[in-house]
Chains A and B, each alone.
Chain A
Amino acid sequence: MVRRPARPSADAAQDPGPMVRRPARPGVDAAQDSGPMVRRSARPGADAAQDTGPERIYVLTGGRGGPAARTRLDLVTLVVAIGTPWQSSAVTQAVSAQRRLFPEHLDILRRCRSPLSVAELSAHLRLPFSAVAVLVEDLLRAELVRTRDAVLPAVPDPALIEEVLRGLQRL
């Protein structure tokens, strides 16, 4: 076994040394755990609803690189739509014109009829986290969504961890 070098007292003589490495086992091969991937940006010219390339993101965010500092949206901030059912397309169009909303804003409102994290919105909309955060901030300012804040204090409440523990034990 390889040893972490940090500790001077570690005895190298006990190290069994490097071992022959087994090929990746089935089920955990590179295809399944490929980690981060560099992607080619979407081609320009795709239609607006599908286009998530840099030009579309620039239009959506107005060039804003991320939400204003005061909002502090996190990957796991839960977003919930307020009130309006957003079912009638006529109503939706009228509201979106009045509020200057993009189709992506409306998509967020539809998806957030039940709570959804910013990370999930990013996945469903195929937009980077920072772009979704800007859109959610727009909706917060328009009072069309509310958020439930996520970031924990440095030392979380034991009662909360107990709740997590009980939930995991029920799985």
Chain B
Amino acid sequence: MAFNGSDPFGGVRTGVRELEPTATVALKIAIVGPLGVGKSTMVRSVSEISPLTTEETMSRRSVPVDALGPSSAKTETTVAMDFGRITVSDRVVLYLFGTPGQERFWFLWDGLVEGALGAVVIVDVLRLAESFDVLERLERRGCAFIVAANRFPGAPVYRPEELREALDLPTTVPVVDFDARERESCRDVLISLARYLLAASRAPRVVR
């Protein structure tokens, strides 16, 4: 687990690009999917910074704050979430968070999906069933998402319509395939999401 650019004095960090002072709008995009589906790979492929890791403790929201003291704190477990950054204009920055889809990590979603621009659900066509819960979770929260099938070599290729039907999604939800290792491919996934969100923002009731 790397904490890149974490020198203690905040000096010049090679390869770490600082945000322009004009950056005023930061947007979240959640990259969700089961373990090993390519979330961290996608974040690494498109991020302008080396991916970073933020943490949260599992017990924060399940234990009353008053009960947390130096002794009880030792029993907390820590969950890490990878993220990266893309500057899209002088003023707007995107943050991509790779978010685990398993139910026991859903507490992380509270802070992530709220106010997020949208989500990319990465699926592996050989393990589609592992993504069903995540889709329902996003649908219930009203978070706009697209589905991106990571192109694993040797895996069968399905048409988007076949995947959409298997995932029981409305025809408005884009389903694309991509290679999480390739920057351009990941960028195209984000472009698909942005186009979808644009259509949704112009006709919000159709999609949300």
Roughly how many angstroms separate A152 CA and B202 CA in the complex, as a whole number?
16
Q: Are A22 and B23 in contact (CB under 8 A)?
A: no
| Total count of chain A residues near the partner, CB < 8 A | 82
How many whole Å from B53's CB to the nearest CB in chain A? 5
Roughly how many angstroms separate A161 CA and B116 CA in the complex, as a whole number?
12
Q: Are A58 and B69 in contact (CB under 8 A)?
A: yes
How many whole Å from B150's CB to the nearest CB in chain A? 7
Neighbour of A154 across the interface among B94, B111, B187, B208, CB < 8 A? B208
Task: Let me know if B161 is at the binding interface, CB within 8 A.
Answer: no
Q: Are A54 and B155 in contact (CB under 8 A)?
A: no
* Also in contact, A161 and B201, with CB within 8 A (given A3-B166, A4-B166): yes
Task: Let me know if A85 is at the binding interface, CB within 8 A.
Answer: no
Chain A residues 86-119 with CB under 8 Å of chain B are 107, 110-111, 113-117, 119
Q: Are A167 and B87 in contact (CB under 8 A)?
A: yes
The residues of B with any CB-CB pair to A shorter than 8 Å are: 1, 3, 5-6, 8-10, 18-21, 23-28, 35-41, 46, 52-57, 60, 65, 68-70, 73-74, 76-81, 83, 85-89, 91-95, 97-98, 100, 105, 108, 111-112, 114-117, 125-129, 132, 135-136, 142, 150, 152-156, 158, 162-163, 165-168, 180-181, 183, 187, 190-191, 194-195, 197-198, 200-202, 204, 208
Roughly how many angstroms separate A130 CA and B111 CA in the complex, as a whole number?
11
How many whole Å from A165's CB to the nearest CB in chain B? 4
Roughly how many angstroms separate A83 CA and B111 CA in the complex, as a whole number?
30
How many whole Å from B195's CB to the nearest CB in chain A? 7
- Residues 56-70 of chain A: 1 if any B CB is under 8 Å from the residue's CB, otherwise 0? 011000011110000
* Also in contact, A124 and B5, with CB within 8 A (given A4-B168, A76-B26): yes
The 29 sampled A-B contact pairs (Cβ below 8 Å) are A2-B128, A4-B128, A10-B168, A27-B41, A33-B35, A33-B37, A35-B35, A35-B40, A35-B100, A36-B81, A39-B1, A49-B8, A54-B76, A76-B93, A78-B24, A114-B20, A115-B20, A119-B54, A123-B54, A126-B6, A126-B55, A148-B23, A148-B25, A152-B117, A158-B201, A164-B88, A164-B92, A165-B195, A165-B198
Find chain B residues with CB under 8 A from A29 CB: 36
* Also in contact, A54 and B73, with CB within 8 A (given A33-B36, A37-B80): yes
Chain A residues 14-31 with CB under 8 Å of chain B are 16, 19, 21-22, 24-25, 27-30
Task: Give chain A's interface secondary structure class.
Answer: loop
Neighbour of B190 across the interface among A36, A128, A168, CB < 8 A? A168
Q: Are A163 and B88 in contact (CB under 8 A)?
A: yes
Q: Are B27 and A150 in contact (CB under 8 A)?
A: yes
How many whole Å from A8's CB to the nearest CB in chain B? 10
Q: Are A27 and B10 in contact (CB under 8 A)?
A: no
* Also in contact, A25 and B152, with CB within 8 A (given A115-B21, A171-B187): yes
The closest CB in chain A to the CB of B53 belongs to: A123
Q: Are B57 and A75 in contact (CB under 8 A)?
A: no
Task: Let me know if A156 is at the binding interface, CB within 8 A.
Answer: yes
